[in-house]
Amino acid sequence: MGANKSLFAITTEWVDDEEVKGEEFRATMARLRIDVGSVTVTYAQEKDTNTFTDNLLLPVYPLAEWIATNWWHLGDESPHSNRTSSEFESRHNFSLAGGGYPLPNLSALPEGENVFLKYRPKENKYWPVSFLRAGEVQVSLSIFREALGDFLTSVVERLKMKGIQGTLLQIQWDDINSLTSPERDFCRFAAKLGHYPLTLDDDQQQSIVEAAALLPDPVVDEFFSGAMLEEGLVEQAMVLNRFFADAGRSTEPRDRLNGLRGKLRQCSLHGAPWNKGYQAAATVRQMWALDGKLFVNQDDIIGFFELPEDMFAVDPGETSQVIDGAYCLNKSNSLEFNMYQTSMHSKKFTFFRILHDYVFDYKSNMGLATRGYSARQKQNRAFAAEILAPAEYLKKRFKGKSVVSWGDIENITNELNISDWVVAHQLKNHNIAEVSQLGL
């Protein structure tokens, strides 16, 4: 979806109201409107009069301060399995930014170069309005940040015009705009890890700087989106540094993989990351003649892709709690990869995640499979799931069933030699059947 400035906008019409308490609140009283795509997400029903409005009358200072405080998270932090949903929401959901005033249930979910904006109805018994609209739009990160920045600048100028100086918002916005390029990168990396840059101690700051210096530029963002500050950040980066150095020197050809990759160079994918992953799997199955092919064990993979038998070996000293796998191209322009998980289920799944990135990412010659939920990781997970547990196969196996038990799923996982959650997600995501919660 092409992004333009009309896809996200925050507009204010200033209102003078001397009865509002608090000078920052009084100075920034306004009619606020937020548009996402062609939809006004501030559209709400006024409870007292049962009428409808596009604008919210409230002080916008709390919203502006929240945006400035979470500036780096809003553009760079993706969901991660080690963060609670409430923790993540506090930094990404606009409805939590009003300081008690009503704001729409709008969440900003960064996905690399884009931001996924999702809005849902919301009712709060303490609010005079109810938000009614639901939808989602993908906008470019640059457009999103520009709109946020324009809004912050307008609020800061309004405060200045009213003779107000030294607020937290003004200090934060000045600091953000005065950062050097390396400082901005540090703030982005800290946010990707789920931390506020200024709350980190000296050792934590140094570990981020050292880890970034160890990694090639194409994988830095994915590393920090998937890593955890508490899990030996520098040590994890050193594991990857060794792999990229060694693999890059290899001259081993992978003619079979190179040929398969070449067939897909003109393939274009559309939609949300998980949809792109499913499209990629369908395309691969067709172009590689995989119809009916199941990869039950590693020998199936090694045989089909003509890989050395030791390619699935894992060095016990090179395992990771945050990185599942890595790949790069060697001197023969062929795929080299390493996996940091020991179970067969995990290694198979990680291989196909790596294969997805190798085949469909022509801009980079290296990449990571991580525990994070960036757009890339969502897409390669969906691809791997569809290759290892094809939806059409599951539809045939569960034909006529609207609800399946975990025992049914276990039978499939034993047949396919994959984890039960892969099958459960496929059943849910392709609307094949519901999974019974009985027995859990």
Query: Per residue of the chain (440 residues), what is the pLDDT tens digit?
Result: 333 445 899 999 999 988 889 999 999 999 999 999 999 999 999 999 999 999 999 999 999 999 999 999 999 998 876 677 888 999 999 999 988 999 999 999 998 888 999 999 999 999 999 999 999 998 999 999 999 999 999 999 999 999 999 999 999 999 999 999 999 999 999 999 999 998 999 999 999 999 999 999 999 999 999 888 877 899 999 999 999 999 888 888 887 787 777 666 667 777 778 888 999 999 888 888 887 889 998 899 999 888 888 877 766 666 667 789 999 998 888 889 998 887 888 899 999 999 999 988 767 789 999 988 888 899 999 999 999 999 999 999 999 888 988 888 999 999 999 999 999 999 998 999 998 875 44
290 within some domain:
yes
The alpha carbons of the chain give a radius of gyration, in whole angstroms, of 25
Q: Which amino acid is at 95?
A: S
Same domain, 99 and 239: no
Q: Which of 124, 130, 125 is nearest to 49 (CA)?
A: 130
Domain carrying residue 430: 392-435
Q: Which of 18, 89, 9 is nearest to 59 (CA)?
A: 18
Q: Which residues contact 146 (CB under 8 A, 6 or more apart)?
A: 5
Q: What is the pLDDT of residue 317?
A: 62
Q: Which residues contact 120 (CB under 8 A, 6 or more apart)?
A: 105, 134
Same domain, 350 and 230: yes
Instruction: Round to whole Å and give the CA distance between 131 and 256.
Output: 55
Same domain, 122 and 60: yes
183 within some domain:
no
Q: What is the pLDDT of residue 264?
A: 67
Would you say the C-alpha torsion 20, 22, 26, 31 has a positive or negative sign? negative
Q: What is the pLDDT of residue 296?
A: 92
Same domain, 127 and 32: yes
198 within some domain:
no
Same domain, 80 and 146: yes
201 within some domain:
no
Q: Are 71 and 176 in contact (CB under 8 A)?
A: yes
Q: Which of 225, 237, 273 is nearest to 73 (CA)?
A: 225
194 within some domain:
no
Same domain, 24 and 142: yes
Q: What is the pLDDT of residue 439?
A: 45
Q: Are 22 and 60 in contact (CB under 8 A)?
A: no
What one-character-per-residue DSSP string does 134-145 give? -EEEEEEHHHHH
Same domain, 375 and 228: yes
Instruction: Round to whole Å and give the CA distance between 339 and 181.
Output: 33
Q: What is the pLDDT of residue 80?
A: 78
Same domain, 314 and 234: yes
Rounded-to-5 percentages of helix, strand, coil across the chain? 50, 15, 35
158 within some domain:
yes
